């Protein structure tokens, strides 16, 4: 049908699919604000928590393997040549579980935040790892941060957590300033949650 053939074209050009990862602001986009998470007790607490978690994971891995070091029906009678394999299993278990936790904490600590006249962006190095369109976005303001939810929200796996998906500017020194800039670009502030709710 002719209508179907023309559906993918606009003014004689083929429609392009949306990019998988958001792109940097172009010439038509103005940067209104940039910032980083503030360092402080929160960051120190995260680092301490990560070290405690790594210690517990290592201890758990050792406890799981320790009963088999003296020999068992499952492991047989391990000799001196089994020690490198046992150490490799313990180290591998810790790395497999701890590496994603470390990558997530590291990314959130090194993130850079940006508001343009169109989008809220989270950068890591030279890559955009989070994007929310500001016009029509719902915005949640807390004493330490601002969260955005919009249609077409993009989040790298390092920005996702157990809470509902939201692009979060965390550990901000002045969240109200950021919220005011976003509101001027069409974001809608959600009412604060009621006490006891």
CB-based contacts of 138: which residues, under 8 Å, 6+ apart? 148, 149, 150, 187, 188, 190
CB-based contacts of 59: which residues, under 8 Å, 6+ apart? none
Confidence of residue 43 (pLDDT cuts 50, 70, 90): low
Residue with tokens 């050009």: 13
Across residues 163-179, what is the average pLDDT? 91
Q: What pLDDT is stored for residue 8 in this prediction?
A: 42
Confidence of residue 69 (pLDDT cuts 50, 70, 90): low
Q: What pLDDT is stored for residue 71 in this prediction?
A: 64
Give pLDDT tens digits for 95-114: 777 778 778 877 888 899 99
Neighbours of 82 (CB within 10 A): 14
Confidence of residue 15 (pLDDT cuts 50, 70, 90): very low
């Amino acid at each position: 049908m002719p209508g179907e053939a023309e559906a993918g074209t606009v003014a004689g050009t083929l429609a392009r699919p949306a990019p998988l990862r958001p792109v940097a602001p172009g010439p038509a986009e103005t940067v209104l604000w940039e910032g980083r998470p503030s360092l402080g007790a929160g960051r120190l607490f995260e680092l301490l928590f990560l070290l405690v978690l790594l210690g517990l994971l290592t201890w758990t891995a050792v406890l799981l393997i320790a009963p088999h070091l003296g020999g068992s029906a499952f492991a047989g009678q391990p000799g001196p040549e089994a020690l490198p394999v046992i150490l490799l299993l313990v180290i591998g278990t810790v790395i497999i579980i701890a590496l994603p936790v470390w990558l997530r904490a590291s990314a959130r600590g090194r993130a850079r935040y940006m508001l343009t006249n169109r989008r809220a962006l989270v950068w890591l190095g030279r890559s955009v790892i989070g994007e929310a369109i500001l016009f029509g976005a719902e915005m949640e303001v807390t004493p330490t941060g601002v969260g955005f939810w919009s249609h077409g929200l993009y989040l790298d796996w390092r920005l996702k957590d157990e809470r509902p998906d939201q692009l979060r500017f965390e550990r901000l020194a002045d969240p109200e300033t950021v919220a005011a800039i976003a509101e001027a670009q069409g974001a809608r502030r959600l009412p604060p949650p009621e006490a006891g709710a």
